[in-house]
Every structure is written in C-alpha cells, then in structure tokens.
Amino acid sequence: MVKLIVSLFLLFNLALLDSCDSPTPSKKSDPPVVEQKASPKPESTEKAKSPEKTPTPQATDTTTKSKDNKTPTPEVVAKNNATKPSPAPSPVPVSKTEVDQSSSVYRAIDIVLGRKTASGEEKNNALKVVKNVLSVKELKNARSKRNDPNLLKDRYPKNKELKVGTKNQIVFWNAYDRAHFAARHLMDYFDTTDIKGKNSWWPAGTTQEQIDRYLQMTLEAYSTKISLPNPGSTGSDFKYFDFDLPDKSKIRVSLGIQSDGRVTSFFPKTGQNVISLSESDVQKLLTAVGK
C-alpha cells in the first residue's frame, strides 16, 4: 500500500514538471498583435515653406573661412549679382582725326591770287585762310643771325652722325640752317624781309621738326649718291642735289651742301600742295592780308 502511494506521488510530480516546462500554445482565434507607431503630426504651412536648416559641420567650416578671408561665398555673389544692376560700359573714346589743311590753303592762295574763279563769299573765306597762316610765326630778319657762334655750333641731327660718299664724309646742319629752312620755306615762319625772285613753301602745316626728319631721311637714303664738292681756293665750295623725298609724298627736294659737309639749303621743288611763288605773287599775298 505504501508503495502504491509513493508511486502515485512520483507520477503526480513528473506531470507537474512537464506542464511548467512546455509553453502555452496561442489561441488560433487571436490575431497577432502588431505594434502601431504614431504617425508624425503635419507641420504648419509656414514652417513647411521655410524650414529651419541645421548647418552641417562642413557648411559651418566654409562660412567661418569665408568670414576670415573676407571672400564672399558663391551664394552671396549670386545674390549680389541678382540684386545689383550691371555697370554700364564706359564709352570708347573717339580718336581725334588730324585735319590736313594743306589742300585748302593751296586752293585759298590760288583764289586770292586770282588763279581760280570764286564767288565773293569764297574770296572772303580764302583771304581768311591765308591770313591765318601766312607769316603768323614769322622769323623776321633771320639772315642777320647767320654768324651767331652759338647757332653755328649747335649741330643737327642730335645724337647721330651722318656720313655720305665712298669716303664716309660727315654731313650736318646747324641751328642757323634750321631757322633758315623755316624762314624761307615754311609759310607760317616766312620772313617777309627776305623775299627772293623764286619762293617755295612746303605744304601748309609742315613743321620744323618734319623738315629735320625729311633732311635726315634724304641724306641717309641717298648717301651713296652724295659727294662733297672740293674746297675752293677761297673757301668752301657748294653743290646742289635733287632727289625725290624718300617717302610716299612724291615731293621733289633740292639739297645744297658745302665741301665741309654742312647742308645750307634744303627746300621742296615740286609735289602735291607744294607752293611755288614769284616775288610779285608773295607781295600780292602780303598786301591782301595786310602785311
């Protein structure tokens, strides 16, 4: 009897242990529980339009560098370009055109001398043109300075030595010769006290500096064709040479040179707007303009 009771007690304990170790089966009727997350609340319209952005470390670093270097960021540049109007381009300066008056002066002289027919108004205008040019810078009594030692020692061209002929003989002109070329052959420098039987003037507007350049060009271009005359028994001899001016002007010039190499004569003979006048023609012009 005792054995029977013990056996039942053991069986009861075993059954109890089995029930504790086995999981409780879920009921078929109960659906699986799904954890539902709350949906995010919609933000207001104002916040949606202009959300606040949290700057990233990279953006913060770029902004800091831009402030330190005082260099505007691309976004700032784009904003400035959009808001500020582009400056208007500066106007291109119009170059001043040089007006050559040589043709108008040449024609005016012909009208004043009666070589061309003209109306009363044209004659008045021509007279004004001649008056505004003829001897306005007159080198009066230029020949009186031909023995001035200071002028004779002042040689041209400056800073250059010119040579001609097979013997490479030095040629030059001095400050007096330079004044003489202007007083005799430039209309605005013309010396009214030294009128010759034949008078030739360079085209109106020619300057003393241009004569210097023309003379140097001529001596250099025709150096092999120029030979100094032999000295005379009483002093320097003199010789003329005629050449075309070595440029595009087609002016024929006459060059006079002494045996010591000094050029004492240089003037235009023919060419466009070269003015050739007799003594009576010059007197007529001077009388017409009241000189």
Q: What is the pLDDT of residue 233?
A: 58
Structure tokens at 159: 């800073």
Q: From the CB of residue 15, how many other CB atoms can be counted at a distance below 10 Å?
A: 9
Answer yes or no: are the C-beta atoms of 165 and 254 closer than 8 Å: no
Residue of higher predicted confidence among 35 and 157: 157
Q: Which amino acid is at 85?
A: P
Average pLDDT of every residue of the chain: 79
Angle between helix axes 279-288 and 120-131 (nearest 10 degrees) is 100
Q: What percent of the chain has pLDDT over 70?
A: 64
Residues 6+ positions from 246 with CB-CB distance below 8 Å: 217, 218, 220, 221, 222
Listed residue (101, 64, 147) closest to 273, CA to CA: 101
Q: What is the pLDDT of residue 119?
A: 96
Residue 85 has pLDDT above 80, yes or no: no
Give the angle subtended at the CA of 272 by the CAs of 116 and 226, to the nearest 5°.
140
Domain spans, the chain: 102-288
Q: What is the pLDDT of residue 13?
A: 56
| Band of pLDDT at residue 60, cut at 50, 70 and 90 | very low
Residue of higher predicted confidence among 25 and 196: 196
Residue 188 has pLDDT above 70, yes or no: yes
Q: Which amino acid is at 216?
A: Q
Q: What is the pLDDT of residue 3?
A: 61
Residue 260 has pLDDT above 80, yes or no: yes
Give the whole-angstrom CA distance, residue 168 versus residue 166: 6
Residue 134 has pLDDT above 60, yes or no: yes
Out of 28-42, 184-198, 225-239, give the one with best mean pLDDT.
184-198
φ/ψ of residue 264, rounded to 5: -110, 0
Q: What is the pLDDT of residue 1?
A: 53
Mean pLDDT within 81-91: 45
Structure tokens at 211: 């004569």
| Band of pLDDT at residue 67, cut at 50, 70 and 90 | very low
Dump the DSSP string for the chain: -HHHHHHHHHHHHHHHHHHHHSPPPPPTTSPPP-PPPPPPPPPPHHHHHSPPPPPPHHHHHHHHHHHHHT---HHHHHHHHHHSPPPPPPPPPPPPPPP--HHHHHHHHHHHTTSS---HHHHHHHHHHHHTTTTTT--TTGGGGTT-HHHHH-EESTT--EEETTTTEEEBEEHHHHHHHHHHH-TTT--TT---SEEEEPPTT--HHHHHHHHHHHHHHTGGG--PPPPBTTB--EEEEEEE-SSSS--EEEEEEETTSBEEEEEEEESTT-EEEEHHHHHHHHHHTT-
Q: What is the pLDDT of residue 5?
A: 62
Mean pLDDT within 125-146: 97
Give the whole-angstrom CA distance, residue 171 versus residue 223: 10
Tell me how far the alpha carbon of residue 57 is from its chain's centroid.
53
Instruction: List, for residues 90-100, the tens digit of each pLDDT value.
Output: 333 433 333 47
| Band of pLDDT at residue 11, cut at 50, 70 and 90 | low
Mean pLDDT within 122-151: 97
